[in-house]
Structure 1
């Protein structure tokens, strides 16, 4: 049984008239036009002029706008009333239990008279073949004396004639790629460039109208050089090509030097450049860093990791800043606005690259003990500001010596603008960008790299760090891998949110770090800095004998660490040039706060255990009995208060009682994870027991 359907009356329209009405271009019975507000790139709206369609028009939009709104816009341009969704006179629908399937219309005979009538002439024919050399379809290039060139595709009809369009896409010059599987392959933007390179004896290919085929097995495992045209479209197509080749071939991007705007490899060769230059560029290129480009790693075997493999003495922790910032870990320096963290980080880089004297004040709570190459990439300061800051820090002119090559500071505002290192792709999800992969390649090539800083993190991470824990974990994992692969400490500068109540403890500071907790938890170390409240700042300035100014006194300390780290609150004072100078030692005669005293006690207990001479809480090796081994501020307090501080630290889990080897009683004090705490501690000769 069939159901009667209401068929709309045919509406005949002239494609050229539709094109003029909407401001687009007509090709046969199809009109393409930019959507409202769009002016660049490929047209976003396709209009099929079809008498059987409602009002003679079928409208499709590819830019994400509301399809109904776009159809209304086209209808209004053509003098028609708006489209009404659900109107059966507009769009006849079958009964609910019937399902109509649109069948693809068979291709029509090829005809290019509509182009010839407008003054176009065919200038080239490009055959796309099978691996056996059979022509599957052709791309025809048409040129016009005044208008831009255009391309049309056609396919054989099997009777020595031609039909419009093509079947599935294949790489250009496929039969040559299949016949020679050893030589490298050039990927270019158009057939003209592929033919030019082929005439020089190279394997070269492209794809029809930017459409990459699903089957790229002919390029599997090969070396591919992607030659980018010098314009935005060329860059976009090169990025797409490398993305499609990822995991299939080893891809290199080649940006030809001296290429004019909108120029391609044919223009470059016409300008007098040689094949030798092209080959030299390819041989010196670095492959695009992508996980998929790397050879498959060795399969993971859990049976290789039984603990009997850990023979001999465990390696000691290497530090960048003694007792505070380990070497080869990802970390963060977080601070409130206008605190001076970027200047302090720049000074840290200077000390790593140029070294520092034994009388230099601590920085970030300790002394720099590892020297080498440092790289700082900042998206906030331009070259002039970096110049002023370097000049203020480097009064001796060390940057003009051979050591100057060891300190690299990249001011992105003066080097092409900010870059996204991490972002969310609609198709792939969270990704590392090509910019980040190129930076990683350069960092891997540096011998003696010790420190890398990205300032600030938010400028490089175009993901939802504040709301999405997954985004925070992704960025942290990326930084951790870079730290492991380079052996350098990777720091990010980050911001702290404004707090209504003053920050009094390191725990308060950790809570004030902006973003999801996954960001802090995912890094090995977090150091926070914040301005002291006015009352404390005035007391500190008076003790130091300096004039009080707002934001002159800054507090800081480690608020998170995976492993041993000096968790003492440091006090900084801003000098004339704006640099924060650690003045903690100069405040030793003033009475520290309770939290600071307890922190100092924890640090002393940790240091004693690491030295093989641990304390006990009481007795012959007790804290009070051995107080001459404690810092000055702890030596001056009464026995009862010292016991109370130790008891509070035990209750908080900041220290633990541990048993030494061969002993059953847990009496030796250590920090969680310390050598005595995990049963590996050894007493030094003559140490109290």
Structure 2
């Protein structure tokens, strides 16, 4: 090593400033050379030509090193150390009285005023606190160089962190990163990379795999002109690769895994012959919820819809059936977003615990006690982190209105943003998302854009009274649970709800087993479902009276009914045959509401209830 590049004779390492020192001329290499000299170690130019950067050779201070074995790499903003005999970097640094942070010449400064500091705790773990401008996601590292490169058509190298970006920059490349480590890329402004030729360098670890997916999301779909991924030939990252002596042309081309949503579409492409092999929907709460669905539950205020949503969630988390009939095949975790306040949820949850004599096990029922605004990326990210951690089978968003403030609810375009959040939760985590929402004053559909119900896999509504204009929310006004839509099965019959109060004055809601079957349509006329049910019941009774065997096929039954001038459809004949066979085998149709006694009686709760 030339004399002019070393610290002056007698200048101890302790006299030379560390990172952030006022002496900006002092580099990490200066500090290391001085520290090695203090310990009787010489630093010399590397005896063999190296392909990239400045490289030196010294005696390793961490072992008795008669033959110099410590390779020192000068990357400008930081230095790398590699002992040929295997001493690790912290051991070498400690042997000369330095800290790991002394290997770095300065803090990482961004052009928007953000400063990223590199620190190490007592256990040697890296930390990257920030100062200066910390607003928003920030700008790209070395932003001016990036902008010039994109304009000139020069490749831009995208790294996970500043250290690797500086390593590549010291070799004459245009390199950048985002503040905040591997997770920062999702928040930084990537607009300057529009139309760029990007080479991305993920680390070889789990965080690098997630970073790769983020890079595809941020720069794919035509944002970057081209995007390819290169990995280190050895080690974890770019710097390890360079310090091992490998060249820029020796990075390993990576074929990143497809984005999960891309793969989901590819997996959904089937030949027609494969359709019969698809599994039937997996019930989460038999007769009410299936696994991996987006479900809409709507109703006017004070129609008990939140009582129903909480009761369903409690059933899934504890395995206790709702209204005895809606059973839970497997107990699964639940995440409940209580956007309208946690106090009411707490009281109702305790009432359900007393009713069933069970409390959800730890980790089985998680409550988020504030709204999660679905149009704000940071809050959506937090919700996704909770879902990723808890892995719930059911996520309840109660209510939609509180989670979409400022959204023009009648606009399909504005509704698409929060709705996509719900659909992505369903698709990315294979969870059922239950959205609780309000209806308009006519109770004809959920309030706002029709996309909310059009995109639902299943839709339920709690109707107030027996007409669309009902407004009386007193306890004497009936509430009816109506299954409006089911993409993967038949809809259940409407069922009356009953509100009961326990000895502590807290209420729960269940299906009223003593209420007469509900057969009315929205405008007071018999509904199509009610007409069909009546026809099925009439045909079953006629077949029983005539002694027709249960092994008789539906076509024979259809012809038998026609001969007797009974006006029935093929579907009614099929259902009648099915009902008779199920009755004979001791089973009932999925989703049918049967008359079962409640576990104790209560009184209607007075006052207005949601």
TM-score when normalising by structure 2: 0.50
Which residue, 377, 390, 411 being the options, matches 2:349?
Answer: 390
Q: Structure 1 CA distance, aligned partners of 2:493 and 2:26?
A: 70
The residue that corresponds to 2:292 in the other structure is 328
Relative to structure 1, the CA distance from residue 336 to residue 221 in structure 2 (aligned partners, 3 Å threshold; closer, same or farther) is same
Corresponding residue to 1:529 among 462, 466, 469: 462
* CA deviation string 1:601-624 (max 9, x = no partner): 65799999xx99874596456499
Matching of residue 410 in structure 1 with residue 333 in structure 2? no
Alpha-carbon contact 2:116-2:179 (below 8 Å) kept: no
1:309-320 → structure 2 map (5 Å cutoff): 310=274, 313-320=277-284
**Aligned-pair CA distance for 1:179:** 8.4
Distance 2:435 2:268 in 1: 35
2:160 counterpart of 1:222: yes
Is 1:579 aligned to 2:540, yes or no? Answer: no
Is residue 2:374 matched to residue 1:374?
no
Which residue of structure 1 lines up, in the alignment, with residue 374 of structure 2? 421
Instruction: Determine the structure 2 residue equivalent to 1:272.
Output: none
How far apart, CA to CA, are the structure 2 residues paired with 1:127 and 1:603?
88
Whether 2:386 is the aligned partner of 1:442: answer yes
Contact 2:426–2:433 at 8 Å: present in 1 too?
yes
Q: How does 1:505-544 map to 2 (within 5 A)?
A: 508=444, 510=445, 513-533=446-466
Work out whether residues 176 and 203 of structure 1, in 8 Å CA contact, stay in contact via their aligned partners in 2.
no
Does the alignment pair 1:297 with 2:258? yes
Aligned equivalents of 1:588 and 1:201: distance in 2?
Answer: 68
Q: Is the 8 A contact 1:573 1:580 kept in 2?
A: yes
SS of equivalent to 2:77: helix
Alpha-carbon separation, structure 1, partners of 2:379 and 2:21: 39
Question: d(CA) in 2 for partners of 1:586 and 1:569?
Answer: 14
* CA shift for structure 1 position 521: 1.0
- Secondary structure of the residue aligned to 2:514 is helix
1-structure distance, mates of 2:75, 2:131 = 10
Deviation at 1:440, TM superposition (A): 1.7
- Cα shift readout 1:429-479 (whole Å, capped 9, x = no counterpart): xxxx122123223323435x3211011112223463513212333433332
Give the CA deviation at 1:287: 6.2
Listed as ranges, the matches of 1:119-268 within 5 Å are: 124=22, 175-176=76-77, 194=117, 212=140, 213=143, 220-222=158-160, 242-244=186-188
Preserved CA contact (<8 Å) 2:294 2:434: yes
Q: CA deviation at 1:524?
A: 1.6
Structure 1 residue 197, shift from structure 2 partner: 6.3
SS at match of 1:587: coil
Q: Distance in 2 between matches of 1:304 and 1:286?
A: 24
Q: CA deviation at 1:340?
A: 1.9
Aligned to 2:305: 341
Provide the rounded CA distance (Å) in 1 between the counterparts of 2:266 and 2:350: 53
Following TM superposition, by how much is the alpha carbon of 1:237 offset from its aligned partner in structure 2, in angstroms? 8.2
- Cα deviation code 1:104-141 (max 9, x no counterpart): xxxxxxxxxxxxxxxxxx99476899xxxxxxxxxxxx
Aligned 1:56-95 pairs, distance under 5 A: none
Aligned with 1:520: secondary structure?
Answer: helix
Q: Shift in Å at residue 178 of structure 1?
A: 11
Alignment correspondent of 1:489: 432
Q: Separation in 2 of the partners of 1:250 and 1:590?
A: 63
Aligned counterparts of 1:307 and 1:616: Cα–Cα separation in 2? 30
Secondary structure of 2:277's counterpart equals coil
Q: Deviations over 1:367-393 (max 9, x none)?
A: 4445311111111123x3332211211
The answer to whether the aligner puts 1:555 opposite 2:480 as a matched pair is yes
Q: Kindly tell me: are residues 194 and 521 of structure 1, through their superposed partners in 2, closer, same or farther at Cα, counting changes over 3 Å? A: same
Alpha-carbon spacing, 1:197–1:589, altered in 2? closer, same or farther (3 Å): closer
Tell me the alpha carbon deviations over residues 622-654 of structure 1, each in whole angstroms, 9 at most, x when there is no partner. 4998xxxxxxxxxxxxx86xx3xx5xxx7xxxx
Q: Distance in 1 between matches of 2:536 and 2:421?
A: 31
Cα distance in 2 for residues equivalent to 1:435 and 1:552: 39
> In the superposition, relative to structure 1, how do residues 468 and 309 fare at CA in structure 2: closer, same or farther (>3 Å)?
same
Supply the distance in 2 between the matched residues of 1:374 and 1:519 (Cα, whole angstroms): 22
| 2:418 counterpart of 1:475 | yes
- Counterparts of 2:560 and 2:109 in 1: how far apart (Å)? 76
Q: Secondary structure at the match of 2:427?
A: helix
Structure 1 residue 211 displacement after superposition: 5.6
Distance 1:518 1:396, change over 3 A: closer
- Alignment of 1:307 onto 2:268: no
Q: Tell me the distance in 2 between the aligned counterparts of 1:322 and 1:485.
A: 23
Q: SS at the partner of 1:586?
A: coil
For residues 399-421 of structure 1, give each alpha carbon's deviation from its aligned partner in whole angstroms, at most 9, with x where no partner exists: 557x3531222222xxxxx3322
Is the 2:284–2:290 Cα contact (8 Å) retained in structure 1? yes
Residue 495 of structure 2 is matched in structure 1 by 570
Say whether the 8 Å CA contact 1:328–1:484 is kept in structure 2: yes
Q: Choose between structure 1 and 2 for higher RCO, CA contacts under 8 A separated by at least 6 residues.
A: 2
Alpha-carbon spacing, 1:590–1:567, altered in 2? closer, same or farther (3 Å): closer
Computed over aligned residues only, the root mean square deviation of the Cα atoms, in angstroms, reads 5.7
Distance 1:220 1:606 in 2: 66
What is the total number of aligned residue pairs between the two structures?
395
Q: Which deviations, in whole Å up to 9, do the C-alpha atoms of 1:321-353 show, x marking residues without a partner? A: 334432111111111012221122111111111
Contact 1:420 1:460 in 2 (8 A): yes
Q: Is 2:463–2:480's contact at 8 Å kept on the other side of the alignment?
A: yes
Instruction: Show the 5 A alignment for 1:519-668.
Output: 519-533=452-466, 549-550=474-475, 552-576=477-501, 577-583=506-512, 585-588=513-516, 598-600=528-530, 602=532, 615=554, 619=558, 622=561, 643=567, 646=568, 657=570
1:222 to 1:536, Cα distance in 2 relative to 1, 3 A: closer
Q: TM-score, normalised by structure 1?
A: 0.45
CA–CA distance in structure 1, aligned partners of residues 216 and 551 of structure 2: 48
Note if contact 1:328-1:487 (Cα within 8 Å) is conserved in structure 2: yes
